[in-house]
Amino acid sequence: MFTEYIITKYNVVQCFNYVKGEIMFLFKKANNNKLEEIKGKHFKREKDLQKVCEKNLEQIFGLDFVKSEFALHNLRPDTVAFNPRSKSFVIIEYKKDKSSTVIDQGYAYLALMLNNKADFILEYNENKNQNLKRTDVDWSQSKVIFVSSSFNIHQKQAINFKDLPIELWEIKQFANDTLCFLPVEAADSKESIKTISKKSKEIEKVNKEIKVYTEDDHLKQSREDIKELYETFKQAILRFSEMSINPTKLYIGFVADKRTICDIRPQKNALKLWINLKKGELKDSKKIMRDVSNTGHWGNGDYELRITGDEDLEYILSLIRYAYVHHTL
């Protein structure tokens, strides 16, 4: 089984799906408990796929749309978007050519972005009517996303690096106007993209500026007991339905339905926890959370807590669960 994001024009669609090889089967449950297969449907044009994604960027990827067909220095990224959580730009490319490489094209777009930061800032400000400054952007978390109805085995194997700033997403369309978005998960590779970067000056230059953060990056300075404490909280939080981890430069985010529920920043002697609710929204009967609504802090939300042990684990989880329900219902 897998996690999927489904967009449909129907209010109620009960379905069961699974993957067998490269084939997805989608069924609708009828009144007599019989399963009716919903046939697949191809996108006629790459542009149709692009239009669907650009109209639903926030719903699918949690991104803000900036510009379509952004022509710059003989390159034309299909979609330029902005991640409001990581404060970084994202380029999205829609592919029908299964023979092309995602690594070379992805790094060409990343190099384009990093070498022309002012142009991306200007495009954002003109299209969003904002006043974004270069220092407001975390360029180290820039990313490229490739979207296709399917990728070949070579394209999928190409992303098997632990620190690659490139993602692959497959989109499946069905006859009842249901769309399913599937992230292509990299294998559990411990190899770094930096091991092959010396073969390309462009890749090596980009890798000096872009950093894909991991849990290990945050935990390397923590004591062993704090690492164990983080693992205890992590496993407990992930028991909430559809939770995932998103390590960023400043903290490890716990996300559900593309909404950040809480953030944890491991320190040497403690964990810093932020719950993503505005002041007055959290019912903290024990008054253990600190109000940081008027204080500078790294995580999302107005509630902060320093954790050194698991004695309040269940109560803290109840507060996180409250935020989870608040953001997902």
Segment 252-279, tens digit of pLDDT? 999 987 789 999 999 999 999 999 999 9
The answer on pLDDT for 146 being more than 90 is yes
The answer on pLDDT for 109 being more than 60 is yes
- Going 106 to 109 to 113 to 119, the CA torsion angle's sign is negative
The answer on pLDDT for 13 being more than 50 is no
Please report the pLDDT score of residue 266 as a whole number: 98
* In contact, 38 and 176? CB cutoff 8 Å: yes
Which residue type, as a one-letter code, is found at position 128?
Answer: K
- Tell me the CA distances in angstroms from 207 to 107, 199, 200, 219, one per residue in order: 9, 12, 11, 22
Across the range 31-39, mean pLDDT stands at: 84
3-state secondary structure of 240: coil
How would residue 251 be classed by pLDDT, with cut points 50, 70 and 90? very high
* In contact, 80 and 50? CB cutoff 8 Å: no
Measured at the CA of 70, the angle between CA 65 and CA 74, to 5 degrees, comes to 155
Answer whether 0.85 is exceeded by the pTM.
no
Q: Considering only the top CATH level, what class is 46-209?
A: alpha beta
Above pLDDT 90, what percent of the chain? 57
* In contact, 127 and 67? CB cutoff 8 Å: yes
Across the range 77-105, mean pLDDT stands at: 88
Which residue type, as a one-letter code, is found at position 83?
Answer: N
Please report the pLDDT score of residue 172 as a whole number: 86
How would residue 6 be classed by pLDDT, with cut points 50, 70 and 90? very low
Q: The domain at 215-328 falls in which architecture?
A: Alpha-Beta Complex (3.90)
Among candidate residues 72, 33, 78, 36, the one with its CA nearest the CA of residue 53: 78
Separation between Cα atoms, residue 66 and residue 52, nearest integer Å: 15
φ/ψ of residue 145, rounded to 5 = -115, 125
Which residue type, as a one-letter code, is found at position 202?
Answer: E
Across the range 88-111, mean pLDDT stands at: 87
Above pLDDT 70, what percent of the chain? 89
Domain boundaries, the chain: 5-38, 46-209, 215-328
Please report the pLDDT score of residue 184 as a whole number: 87
The answer on pLDDT for 17 being more than 50 is no
Separation between Cα atoms, residue 242 and residue 129, nearest integer Å: 34
Report which DSSP code applies to 328.
H
Separation between Cα atoms, residue 251 and residue 266, nearest integer Å: 8
How would residue 39 be classed by pLDDT, with cut points 50, 70 and 90? confident
- Tell me the CA distances in angstroms from 40 to 137, 153, 207, one per residue in order: 40, 21, 39
Q: CB-side exposure of 155: number of CA atoms within 13 Å?
A: 24
Among candidate residues 252, 185, 198, the one with its CA nearest the CA of residue 222: 252
Across the range 61-88, mean pLDDT stands at: 94
The answer on pLDDT for 304 being more than 50 is yes
Other Cβ atoms closer than 10 A to 109: 25
Across the range 5-10, mean pLDDT stands at: 42
Per-residue pLDDT reduced to its tens digit, 174-205: 888 888 888 888 776 667 777 666 667 788 88
The answer on pLDDT for 250 being more than 60 is yes
* In contact, 251 and 263? CB cutoff 8 Å: yes
